[in-house]
Amino acid sequence: MLVLGGAVAMATVAGVAYERLARRAAGSRPIGGTDDGPSALGWGPGVVRPDHRIVRTADGAELAVWDLAGSGPDAGAVVLPHCWGCSHEVWLPVTRRLRDQGHRVVLYDQRGHGLSTRGAAMLSIEALAHDLSDVLEACDVRDAVLAGHSMGGMTIMSLAAYRPEVLEARAKATVLVSTAATALRSGRTDRGAQLAGALIGSALVTRAMRGRNGHLFVRGVFGTDPVRSHMDLTRHLFADCHGRVRGDFLVSMASMDLLEGIASIDLPTTVIVGSRDTLTEPAKADQIVATIPGARLISLKDRGHMLPLEDPDTVTDEIVRAIKG
């Protein structure tokens, strides 16, 4: 359950406590690791941000979508739903690698995130399935690899649960990165989930994320030796996401159970998890693999939750492997 411990910390999908994050930050090894450079974490500097299109949903949400054409005879299509509280920018290091290999990449901001509006529908994991369906149809994506990170993986699994006909018609494989199919903590009451949502949606959390030491509040979602620019991107995106959006989706994730739906997935599926993921812990990856027939598990030693930033090479390699079938 989400708590306050001396300061407000970023709540995790499961409501990881502030004290746990603080302990990890204080006891972590010096910041290091490999960094692609600032231009890998955004459309600039020196990179022209392509125009986005708007996909409108039945309830009035406007989804910002970037459809980057592929090139070459072996080009495949990849759709990349992103994580809770962030935006499509988390996927840009992977997008660059896929584009360098000639693949078509479709990115979009989940409702209420980034440049997308929230619409009138309840903010739920089921709503994200319908949004993904709308994006696939609007972009006429077929024979695609659907690769989702965290809440993006939940989006894909929700598509299997609530719109299985769309998954069957539009996708050839799925890659589920740092995600879960069920609520991460048992015994959470409805009241507890509502309290967690209210806390994570508060202006205090937003101010903390934007503060001078805001990167420390997200330190615990990374593995060993995180790159400072990765932490800064994560905390700024989280702060920019409206508090009500953060809170409402947290409440929805606290009660989700997609196991019945994903048991019927009849597509090649790869599940990737970091051994130090404290949000969607490795046991949740094991649960997904045990439920989806034939699913493969890739565990990345010493990596945390933000795998599209922490290890874009491995994530890209697994997506390309899925494209080539």
Identify the band that residue 122 occupies on the pLDDT scale cut at 50, 70 and 90. Answer: very high
Predicted local confidence at residue 71, as pLDDT: 85
| pLDDT one-digit tens code per residue, 10-64 | 343 333 333 333 333 333 333 334 566 555 666 654 455 678 999 999 999 999 9
Domain holding 151, by residue range, is 38-189+234-324
- Within-domain flag for 76: yes
- Within-domain flag for 246: yes
Question: The sheet that has 171-177: what strands, in order across it?
Answer: 53-56, 62-68, 104-108, 77-80, 144-149, 171-177, 269-274, 296-300
- Within-domain flag for 200: no
Domain count, the chain: 1
- Within-domain flag for 30: no
- Within-domain flag for 215: no
Identify the band that residue 72 occupies on the pLDDT scale cut at 50, 70 and 90. Answer: confident
| pLDDT one-digit tens code per residue, 218-266 | 999 999 999 999 999 999 999 999 999 999 999 999 999 999 999 999 9
Identify the band that residue 283 occupies on the pLDDT scale cut at 50, 70 and 90. Answer: very high
The model's pTM: 0.88
Indicate if the pLDDT at residue 299 is higher than 80.
yes
Question: Can you tell me the mean pLDDT for 90-104?
Answer: 93
- Within-domain flag for 31: no
- Within-domain flag for 243: yes
Q: Output the domain CATH number for residue 267.
A: 3.40.50.1820
- Within-domain flag for 54: yes
Predicted local confidence at residue 141, as pLDDT: 95
Predicted local confidence at residue 199, as pLDDT: 87
